[in-house]
Structure 1
């Protein structure tokens, strides 16, 4: 929506489809909002539009306390786009600027810091520091309003360099002090203690077909690392996470009774989640990984409109509006699982996964790091899990929950597919982080001996979150672009009925 008059019409109709796609600010009040804000629509000549919340904040506007524009789903563009701006936004969302600075972001993108600054500012109205600052402010608000952590701890957990910087940012963005921001919700909401975890609502736009996502996660679940419990319609997905500063256990609930159908009144929604983190500085990264796993920043309206125009897909789209294309909570973990299959992945967890200090129900381990698996392969001549034997025992290899075929690859040794892949991931020959160029990553994977093109396509679709992937050998029409990954999920969901 590049035309400002068209954007204003979206604001007038309080159209939630565009939450996160753009923001509007009111010059007479000094407040910026999401398009679906329920407040009285301002006059057109008082409205300014911004591509990001950071740009609105940089122009001196405060976040609306009614619609909370900082809590909207992310723009679907950042997942679909392969250019430097899209890649930068994915990395900033993952917390790279907080951990490595603008220089680290630029190195990952392969550009100079000045080039990154110039491109982001030109298109989004804010540079990487401002974008990261807006994200830190949102993290701070979540921690203030949902936990009992001391304010000083929250300042550093949110990524701020000092308490003064934290206080100044909160005042600028929310027009209140951190203490007042916390007090405002205490009367209506009980904050959780750190040991009880951090409760969150993971927002999404449009209809969300949760059943298909939870079905897929249940089929793929690797024992010890993840589980899906409860009856259909009210299931909970839980898993362990290795994060930059520590570890985490996350739980996400399937909305009870949610059929995944659109509501004419309020088509958006959320998934309830709880995060138990050993270090609260990992909150932003953990949330972004969950958003990628559950494909919460997708634009189901654009996807369904394009695919629903095809006679073959139209009835499937009508039956499952808002069907998502799940990603991965840990791209490197998913790549290993795609190569070896679930049965062997469970053996890898038992043999090489790091045990949790305190098991949480059936969750007992972190998935082993590529460096650990590569070292095991190098020292022993093979990873101490007979992959071929594991696949032969089950007769099948399940990858991505979409394809089941006989185990055709053998060799978990240092020169086998698993050993080669983990060595490449460990030494950086293959990168699968959120900001990697997907074509470069695919070429690096193709250069590894023993990895077939179909497995690499699965890694690209899931680990790299590419919405337009077709495995080799499948003939699909170009009219399904740029959502061919979603089209294949519709076809597979129909086959599984």
Structure 2
């Protein structure tokens, strides 16, 4: 429970979207909890209790507001949590809430004991990891019930509940409302049964066109495409019990709601939490643009407009795919790299049916690359990939399969950068770029990059590095702003 009541209540009264997701308000007169941006009638301050997370509000006995919908609130950014471990644990719980991962498995991935994780998690968020996981599942289910026409059984399974009975019992206990009753109350447009469309919130402003422009320039024919102000791509995720799941996603923008609208193919329901987590990462939905701009606004002293409020750091949906594309792009143009990647896809990608023009294949996995017979240059060389880069891609695939490189919310990105640089053919630029986009590393700076040099001309690399010290810990965002300025 948060104690600064007067300041938090003032933020609640202001309905300022910058505070969205940073705290939640339990209202004793109604028994519900709200986001700071809720437009319902303002409650009296004596009826308000403030909580750091939705899970904490639910454990205190409050139900989510049906008007402001707490499940749509943006999450916290990497530097918000005093303990990086807790931040990563929360993100992993959100991403894996549907697959039954145990706390012991989670703590193992984070390199600590489950006892230590419980202790630091509870100290930071005032709820246990299990309670946080329960709220993740309930809010995902609430989102599905409100925004889709999925059968209640499918909702329960997708959100990670072991049975329909358990889901119904817990939903009624926590929200004093059955899942079917909630669906009847929810006002929504009727959708086709095959559509699964959800909203993912963010903190405004969001420079959507700049994000689309970046992704469009690096799109791989057959895998992803930008069209009609939407981003679309194919998906391949390996679920529990080594089950391969294929499908597609489409992402649009609804600025009046401060949200992205995500439509996924019905085939992706078994891995929906992972898909949504990857979309949040790709579009940097955890970002606090105000905090980033506060540090980087000094860039505008160099040249007006060099840093723009609301600029996001483009992540990635498939870390290996992005890393391979980064290797292919060494010392050639962005367009040429896309051409090489498209050739790899045509030859070694897995064809899938999407019904969407331009989406035809999924990118080969690291195991697919290692399974190719004979020297790798014999396979990639005819596609125009020089032998040295083909060898680098092969060694990168081997490192990923053997678990030597960790792309997924790795605890120490700087250590992973060092590991990447032990692979022959991966230098500082490539390693920093991969960390920036695949590992959500906010503090990478590419002082040797041609675009960065052009944007900061006539400064030398040494002068740029010294200048960028003032931009920590957001140097990755500084890099994106410099590229956008061109």
- TM-score under structure 2 length normalisation: 0.87
Distance 1:286 1:81 in 2: 27
Determine if the alignment matches structure 1 residue 280 to structure 2 residue 291: no
Matched position secondary structure for 2:212: helix
Query: What is the CA distance between 1:374 and its match in structure 2?
Result: 1.9
Aligned residue in 1 for 2:189: 189
Distance 1:128 1:97 in 2: 15
Deviations 1:117-174 (A, max 9, x none): 1111110012222222111112212222333322122211211012222112322443
Aligned residue in 1 for 2:334: none
Distance 2:83 2:122 in 1: 18
* 8 Å Cα contact 1:205/1:269 also seen in 2: yes
Determine if the alignment matches structure 1 residue 10 to structure 2 residue 11: yes
Query: What is the CA distance between 1:273 and its match in structure 2?
Result: 2.3
Q: Residues 29 and 359 from structure 1, CA distance in 2 versus in 1: closer, same or farther, beyond 3 angstroms? A: closer
Matched position secondary structure for 1:208: coil
Query: What is the CA distance between 1:333 and its match in structure 2?
Result: 1.8
- Give the alignment partner of residue 401 of structure 2, picking from 417, 422, 426: 426
Matched position secondary structure for 2:222: coil
Alignment of 1:14-163 (within 5 A): 14-77=15-78, 83-95=84-96, 98-163=99-164
Deviations 1:376-432 (A, max 9, x none): 2xx3121554359626xxxxxxxxxxxxxxxxx74255xx21111000001111111
Aligned residue in 1 for 2:427: 452
Query: What is the CA distance between 1:33 and its match in structure 2?
Result: 1.0
- Give the alignment partner of residue 218 of structure 1, picking from 216, 219, 230: 216
Matched position secondary structure for 2:352: strand
RMSD over equivalenced CA pairs, Å: 2.4
Moved more, 484-493 or 80-89: 80-89
Moved more, 160-169 or 77-86: 77-86
Query: What is the CA distance between 1:466 and its match in structure 2?
Result: 1.4
Alignment of 1:299-310 (within 5 A): 299-310=288-299
- Give the alignment partner of residue 270 of structure 1, picking from 251, 259, 279: 259
Query: What is the CA distance between 1:344 and its match in structure 2?
Result: 2.5
Matched position secondary structure for 1:239: strand
Runs of 5+ unmatched residues, structure 1: 259-265, 392-408
Query: What is the CA distance between 1:494 and its match in structure 2?
Result: 1.2
Aligned residue in 1 for 2:363: 367
Query: What is the CA distance between 1:359 and its match in structure 2?
Result: 5.3
Distance 1:283 1:176 in 2: 24
* 8 Å Cα contact 1:292/1:328 also seen in 2: yes
Runs of 5+ unmatched residues, structure 2: 240-244, 330-337, 449-460
Matched position secondary structure for 2:250: strand
Distance 2:149 2:98 in 1: 26
Aligned residue in 1 for 2:166: 165
Higher RCO (CA < 8 A, seq sep 6+): 1
Q: Residues 96 and 79 from structure 1, CA distance in 2 versus in 1: closer, same or farther, beyond 3 angstroms? A: farther
Moved more, 380-389 or 114-123: 380-389
Query: What is the CA distance between 1:493 and its match in structure 2?
Result: 1.2
Distance 2:302 2:480 in 1: 11
